[in-house]
Structure 1
């Protein structure tokens, strides 16, 4: 029995090289035990000299699959990948068989890793830890992913926040970026990050864009699972906003006009008339068209459309995510 211990940093490249050598040397899956990081001695495995196999080729789809699966937390992920790699040597089309349990299991693992990476890019919250007056500001964040995805997700943050130095700490690994390269280091204890004055502004914004009439708790928790709440500054507001949603929505309904507004007659006339393109620069025609729009169901729970304001040739445009309850009642943006 051969034991392979993979490093915690550069795991994919290490697994790829080991799997390539084992496959080229004809070592079957049942003769290999895989571990990541410091592994305890195994009575049935021994660290044999590295094998030197010949060149092997695999479908590109398998490489893409392995680049995700190696970061899964399942301790059998390396063995499962190598078993499929071995099987592909006998059936090159096996990867296309979605009904094969080996392929199905690995694809589901890859999907879980990909989803976890997406959640990390959405829910990491940086706090400033350096001198705000410095040429390059420095930030840090703590995040608890479901899988070992920091090495996979770090390039996104380097591209997105390339103008600042940052560190991301997780229970498994740490990443540091200095503007030129990403450096990975062993995991550290959760740092004591300072309070961020901008978080209060963010909570104010979050509270004001929360529309109780469109609340769907199940959908919200599917996109923002509770496991991430303890590291989000807006999370303490969520239970209160959910509890108040029904009464706030009822208040919005009661505040709505009891009689059809004057514009209803214009909307009715427009619906009877054939559609015509809105002339460029004709604001009145734009507002009329917006008021009568029924191309999606968003109008059903709204009191009225909320159009933009300002000159049509403005050099700067501010786009809001959605009208809040005060904007919906007033018909004007950014008044909540």
Structure 2
């Protein structure tokens, strides 16, 4: 059977920036289809139409890739929620759904593996073998169902990332391999992120880079260093949250009274669509080749980012036209000017009027 996309990952990269879209787990949790805590994608079997809908929304927003929702769909995580017996069914169904929606827009389809929480750098041989078995299961089913490449992501350890890359190569699949970059400068097994990406590139990764953990402000400086250090394509999929040099990763964001905000109280740190669009343009300008969004991202972020990269997407038909707003639009009559003045007065000297 022909693939949804008639062109490969490498061919699309040669033509320009690829727009990615992830964040499935957080978005489906918000919609009531995934349990926060374990974050196992039970939605694949329990509410497959909800997953189809989110894939479709990302596709309409401009995503070039439908990533099969097999993040945390490995054996150890399914055992945590008592569903290890449904491992194969869940993985196969996720890839089938991704292929189904990809055909609606000619998107690439990516298999997905991730950090397993099984890897132990103090016992890399035994723990690495356990990681490898889980990846071989997942990618074996993914290959049988049909994928164009693999997104291997959210790695804290270079050792585990190298296992993921090796299994991708074992199945003959191009790999996009990315680190979570929770720590300021190094992986948890002690490699500078730039060096870790260089090692992955030297081992044959098609794309290397970063996903999750960092917001735009703290991911961009690190991306610049990675871009200058490797010859292969670079990926950037930040979380849409306002991280800072003092708190570079969203896992550590705190309220004014010191309460941890991750993962269920992050709304006050959320980036706007305009901030994510700005990130997309800046990432492109420094030479990043695969640009998307991770946990917390929604279709409106993806659409704004795609449009910032010069795309006109199916969802662009409904992009904002604020000139048609009854008050904010132009021209405004006296009555509307009075309402606008009222909004400004209601805002007070230090707050912001509603959008």
Q: TM-score, normalised by structure 2?
A: 0.21
Please give the TM-score of this superposition, normalised by the length of structure 1. Answer: 0.22
Higher relative contact order (CA 8 A, sep 6+): 2
- Highest CA radius of gyration, 1 or 2? 1
